[in-house]
C-alpha cells in the first residue's frame, strides 16, 4: 500500500488531523505518534478527517480506538470524525468506535461541534 500521511491543523482549540492512505500497523504508528505529540502539548479536542483514508484494517481500528480512549477518557477531551466512506463507517460502528464520538458530513461541521464542546 502507499505511504500513510498525517496533516495537523490547529483551528482555535480544535486539532484537525487529516489522514491520507491505508490505516494499518505502519499507518497506525504514524497516526498515534502525531496525535500523542498534540496530546502532550495539552490538546484534547480533535477532529479526525478520514476522507483520504478509504480503508482501515483491524490494527488501524485498534489504534484509532486507543487514541480516542486516551483523549476522551483520560483527558476529558472530545473527538469528532468526518470523511467516512461507507466501508469505514461500517467498520467503526461494528467495533464500537462510533459510540465514543459523532460523525459529521463535513470538516467544518465537525470543527464547529468540537469548538462548542471545547468552550
Q: Domains in the chain, start-ordered, CATH in brackets?
A: 5-109 (3.30.750.24)
The CA distance from 111 to 79, in Å, is 10
Per-residue pLDDT for 1 more than 80? no
pLDDT at res. 84: 97
pLDDT tens for each residue of 54-111: 999 999 999 999 999 999 999 999 999 999 999 999 999 999 999 999 999 999 999 9
Predicted TM-score (pTM) of this structure? 0.96
**What percent of the chain has a predicted confidence (pLDDT) above 90?**
95
The CA distance from 114 to 119, in Å, is 9
The CA distance from 90 to 44, in Å, is 25
Mean predicted confidence (pLDDT) in 3-12 = 96
* pLDDT averaged over every residue in the chain: 96
Mean predicted confidence (pLDDT) in 30-47 = 98
The CA distance from 25 to 31, in Å, is 10
Amino acid at each position: 500500500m502507499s505511504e500513510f500521511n498525517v496533516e495537523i491543523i490547529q483551528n482555535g482549540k480544535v486539532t484537525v488531523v487529516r489522514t491520507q492512505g491505508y490505516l494499518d500497523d505502519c499507518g497506525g504508528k504514524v497516526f498515534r505518534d502525531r496525535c500523542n505529540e498534540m496530546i502532550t502539548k495539552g490538546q484534547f479536542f480533535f477532529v479526525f478527517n478520514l476522507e483520504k483514508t478509504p480503508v482501515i484494517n483491524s490494527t488501524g481500528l485498534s489504534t484509532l480506538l486507543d487514541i480516542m480512549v486516551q483523549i476522551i477518557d483520560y483527558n476529558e477531551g472530545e473527538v469528532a470524525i468526518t470523511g467516512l466512506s461507507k466501508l469505514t463507517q461500517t467498520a467503526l460502528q461494528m467495533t464500537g468506535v462510533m459510540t465514543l464520538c459523532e460523525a459529521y458530513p463535513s470538516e467544518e461541521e465537525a470543527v464547529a461541534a468540537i469548538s462548542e464542546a471545547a468552550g
